Structure 1
Amino acid sequence: MAAERELVKAWRPAIKGIAEVLHARFTEHAYPMHVHDSWTVLIIDDGAVRYDLDGHEHGALSKLVTLLPPYVPHNGRAADAHGFRKRVIYLDRAELGEELIGPAVDHPAVVDPELRRCIDRLHGALISPGGELEAESRLAVIRERFLRHLSRMRRDDPADPRLARQLRELLDSRVRDGISLDEAARLLGRHPTHLIRAFSREFAMAPHQYLISRRVDRARHLLLQGLPASTVAVEAGFYDQPHLTRHFKRILGVSPARYVTGRT
């Protein structure tokens, strides 16, 4: 019965700056730690979500707008047995800029009723035929309000790259082909154990978990481009289609086929 109440619909609109749109309801699925390569703009229509971001627990509530930055691991689960219903817009990284990741990590919850109303109306425009101009206009307003919010919260972070970030960049460059821990250690000049500890401490997940999460993220984009799951599995770096399906369902709560079609 619970599975019948879990619905997912995802698509890629023809709007510049929007990488993907997701409407979903979950009762039992709990997202494990994972990452996206885009900004996640989340509003909750029913229920509530608890999630961890950068080692701190947060709550996504119906009156808030939640903004999760790219590349920062997070999870998510229903706050109670009632479950939750959400709508998500994934914005291209360039829409807000990576220099604002730090402020978003510190302040992912935005209290701005007008911003929430604008996001709600953007979703309405995205599902309405002929609503492209309205969607573009609302996206411009949303982007401006986010930039204003994040600029107020901006902190001066040290610019020197950390070992964990170097490893993350290396993993990002090898999403499809992968890289062994020994090769990463040789390229970065550190012991493999030191790499694992530094990465896990900084990003709250092991390097191999991060790589799987990035592959699932890549698979989402390819599926929404219309590629068959068998091709997506190879292009995203999975051993085969069952390998893709297992991790895709573990992280996103539905199979690749259900993610695209929205069927139960």
Structure 2
Amino acid sequence: MTKEQARYQLADELGGIEILNARYQQQNFSRHSHEGYTIGVIESGAQQFYRTGGNHIAPQDSIILVNADEVHTGCSASEGGWSYQAMYPTPEQFEQLSQDLGIKQQGAPYFSQAVVQDSVVAGSLRATLALLANSNNRLQRESMVYASLSLLMTRHAKTRPTTTSTFNERNHLSLVKQFLDEQPQANVSLSELAKLVNLSPCYLVKQFVKRYGLPPHAYQIQARLRLAKQLLRQGNKQLDVALDCGFHDQSHFSRHFKRALGVSPGRYAKELAA
């Protein structure tokens, strides 16, 4: 049986881009989200995943595209598992890239397709990821990042669809999300969040799920994991990170971390600690 393998690295380009090279057979990612986009190339096997309200199959050589903050899952769609390379640029990095390249668009790009078959872009992404993993040539590294991501945007970025919620609803939900993002460790209740934006608890949960794909308590876990990644990269101890981020204990923290990121907190810290 093939051992699960995942290696995270942090590239310096655009202020720091997380990259991943992984092979999984039994890994089953829970519903989770990232602050950055997921841009991956399937190297072998096939992956099944949920995104944008539906399930998708990504075969070998296809490109996976998940927008920032978009809820998704992941598991094998082939008997022998699957392997892939991925990078996780943030919306701010995409906006910076667009400005530097003179691309006229409002805000960060939106990728409507979850799986793309494009050998040109796949080849460019593979070359970029290989360079980031193996070369110290700063000029070449940065040039390849700009080239591959701009090519991806030019060929596959779309206009983000508009939502049917009112301005006040969007504003209220954004305030709740902002609170959870800025204070993920807070032991806040649903009633307190609802009172913050003058909505009923039941209505808040319904609308939050509709807009962000997760109920507030599940989104809070994702926000805690994002904070935990930062603290682990700074060299903090796992137990301290677990408690500082609001998890009950280290076991509870490790379980959620592994289900969302595919590696243990210890392994992640070892590979990315500053």
Q: Same fold (TM over 0.5)?
A: yes
- Which one-letter code corresponds to 1:157 in the other structure? T
Identify unmatched segments of 5+ residues in structure 1.
none
8 Å contact 2:69–2:212 — kept in the other structure?
no
After superposition, residues 1-264 of structure 1 pair within 5 angstroms as: 1=1, 5-97=3-95, 99-100=107-108, 103-104=110-111, 106-151=112-157, 153-155=158-160, 157-158=162-163, 160=167, 162=170, 164-261=173-270
Q: Does the 8 A contact of 2:13 with 2:145 survive in 1?
A: no
TM-score, length of structure 2 as denominator length: 0.83
The alpha-carbon distance between structure 1 residues 63 and 129, as it changes in their structure 2 partners (threshold 3 A), is: closer
Q: Equivalent residue of 2:150, what SS?
A: helix
CA contact (8 A) 1:43 1:66 kept: yes
Structure-2 change in CA distance of 1:47 and 1:198 (3 Å): same
Pairwise CA distance, 1:100:
4.3
Any idea what the Cα deviations from partners look like across 1:224-259, whole Å, max 9, x if unmatched? 343332332244332332331121123233321123
Cα deviation, 1:109-168, whole Å, max 9, x if unaligned, reads: 3332221111111121112242332221111012212322354x3255258353544433
- Please list every run of 5 or more consecutive structure 2 residues that lacks an aligned counterpart in the other structure: 96-105
2:116 is matched by which residue type in structure 1? V
Distance 1:23 1:6 in 2: 11
Runs of 4+ in 1 over 4 A off after TM superposition: 163-166
Partner Cα distance (2:243, 2:32) in 1: 20
CA offset digits 1:46-104 (Å, max 9, x no partner): 11111111211122232222221111111111113311111111112212248446x32
Q: CA deviation at 1:26?
A: 1.0
Deviates more, 1:234-243 or 1:47-56: 234-243
8 Å CA contact 1:49–1:79 kept in 2: the answer is yes
Deviation at residue 27 of structure 1 after TM alignment:
0.7
Identity of counterpart residues, as a percentage? 27
Q: Which amino acid aligns with 1:144?
A: S
Calculate the aligned-residue CA RMSD, in Å.
2.4
Aligned pair count reads: 257
Contact 1:12 1:224 survives alignment (8 Å): no
Residues 58, 115 of structure 2: 8 Å contact kept: yes
Relative to structure 1, the CA distance from residue 39 to residue 49 in structure 2 (aligned partners, 3 Å threshold; closer, same or farther) is same
How far, CA to CA, are the matches of 1:205 and 1:92 in structure 2?
20
TM-score scaled to structure 1, two decimals? 0.86
Larger RCO: Structure 1 or Structure 2 (Cα < 8 Å, ≥ 6 residues apart)? 1
